[in-house]
Amino acid sequence: MNGNKIEIELSVGECKDIFSDYLLLDSEATSGFNKPLSMFATNRQDSGEEWWLTMKSFRILWSSVLGFITELSDSGVSLVYFSGLMMDEGLLSIFPYLSIESKHKGRFFIPRLCKDVQSNSPITGRVCLEYHCNDFAELAAPSGFKFFPGTEIMGITVNEALVKDAIRKDVFNKDTLEQLLPKVDCWWVCDSDLEGMAILHKFYSGNELAQKLQEEVLRKFGYPIKVYRD
């Protein structure tokens, strides 16, 4: 499937920098979580297409990894947050998956947007979607969300009782995120190049996640995997 070019790297305890970009200095909001796990798609052959190949491979994996995270909790709900440019090659490509009258079932929230001047410069915005397997399989497909560089993506798993409040939160605001994290079971963040992600979980260690995710990736995709444990 990958032409012997793409390899998946799973690393335990080596991704704190990814999380720290979103936290306050000297934050203790993640003290209740286990050691993190990172997952990255890497290209074993240097070429001008390296970035495109790794990003393409990551988006194939991404929806299944979100399903894997959701299934770790019997009663949890996974919310996925996007922040970026409201343009056709950015967040606007998510909008076809938001219709309340379509087959797409997940809840969503979009803060009020307003472009009140004539300008060619796109405005920035954010979107939050509830994870649903079929919806996100389409969202991650080539005709779905464009994964525009510079878009920030993160997600949490929370109890159903917290969804109504959490889906409206601006998790890209550090103070807001600090208050929310103690209430969530899992927090994950995509890296800035959209080639991988880092995961923190309260009930599964990084080593346990690595084992489970390794089995999931091999079963569904057959990518070769390297696992680096602490």
Extents of the domains making up the chain: 6-112+121-228
Q: What are phi and psi of 22, to 5 degrees?
A: -105, 0
pLDDT at 45: 62
pLDDT digits (tens, 9 = 90+) for 2-35: 444 778 889 998 676 788 889 999 899 999 999 9
R_g of the chain, CA atoms, integer Å: 17
pLDDT at 2: 45
What whole-number distance in Å separates Cα of residue 14 and Cα of residue 12? 6
- Please provide the average confidence, as pLDDT, over all residues in the chain: 84
The stretch 40-58 carries a mean pLDDT of: 68
Backbone angles phi, psi at 111, to 5 degrees: -60, 155
What pLDDT, on a 0 to 100 scale, did the predictor assign at position 1? 44
* pTM to 2 decimal places: 0.89
d(CA 79, CA 132): 10
Higher-confidence position of 145 and 226: 226
CA angle 62, 170, 104 (to 5 degrees): 50
For tokens 């209430």, the residue is: 183
Token readout for 150 is 């510079």
Tokens of 13: 């305890």
The pLDDT of residue 172: 95
Give 180-213 pLDDT, tens digit per residue. 999 999 999 998 777 789 999 999 999 999 998 8
Reported residue count of the chain is: 230
**Structure confidence at residue 158 as a pLDDT band (50, 70, 90):** very high
Burial of 54 by CB count in 10 Å (0-12 exposed, 13-18 middle, 19+ buried)?
buried
Residue whose C-alpha is closest to residue 185's, from 166, 210, 169, 164: 166
Decide if pLDDT at 47 tops 50: yes
Which two three-digit tokens encode residue 165?
A: 């409040």
